[in-house]
Amino acid sequence: MRVRRIIAAAMVALAIWHGGSAAALQAKALLAQVLLHDAWDAARAGERQPSPWPWADMWPVARLRFESRGEDLIVLSNASGRSLAFGPGVFGTVLPGDAGNSVVAGHRDTHFEFLRDVRPGDRFSIQRADGVHRAYRVESIVLADSRKARLQRGGNDALVTLVTCYPFGSPDTGGPLRYVVIARPDTQPRMHDGVSGLQLHALRRASGDFRAALPRFPRKPAI
């Protein structure tokens, strides 16, 4: 594990040395997640604010899993420009799972590029280092002008808002448009082999009613 971290840190440093080219950004994004998963394991084991590499000014606070899109990302403690080069980060709000609206930002050309394919109704999960684990369902997707839009507070709901720049694939940087994915805790039962939890419950209940309606015959005495 130690050798893996040293090698990965050297590769991240090399990517930084080569500047902000598209290839370098992709290299940093991919390689950093190797180190961040190691730091996440340390956080889950009880280490406080584990540093993924010696010069890091952030640490992992959550794990975002979008299984339908094949995404498994470590969420960082802040969303500074330097942090977002390595992974999505919490944008100065409450942590995912807490009451309110947790805003998680990521770059459109690396970690949050997959958001272009997300649709309302899609599910994902977020796990925190302290053990809090919640499932979410995408409620809506909107385009917002960062110069005018105001973030929803969330109230007592534990909302999660995923934000990235827009449009996807644009070479221009610093534009005002944001692609905003709003999700609420998923309270609907999960699917079981293509049958929803509600349907499964109804089937089980119907099966129980059917069995209860069957005539009962006395058992034959054992011979």
Count of residues in the chain? 223
Residues 6+ apart with CB under 8 A from 148: none
pLDDT at position 3 = 57
Q: Residue ranges per domain, the chain?
A: 57-212
Residues 6+ apart with CB under 8 A from 154: 99, 100, 101, 102
- The full DSSP string for 72-139 is EEEEES---HHHHTTS-EE-SSPPTTSSEEEEEE--TTTTTGGGGG--TT-EEEEEETTS-EEEEEEE
* 76: pLDDT strictly greater than 60: yes
CATH architecture of 57-212: Beta Barrel (2.40)
Q: What is the pTM of this model?
A: 0.77
pLDDT at position 31 = 78
* Average pLDDT value over all residues in the chain: 82
pLDDT digits (tens, 9 = 90+) for 3-55: 555 656 655 565 555 555 666 667 777 778 888 999 999 999 999 999 998 88
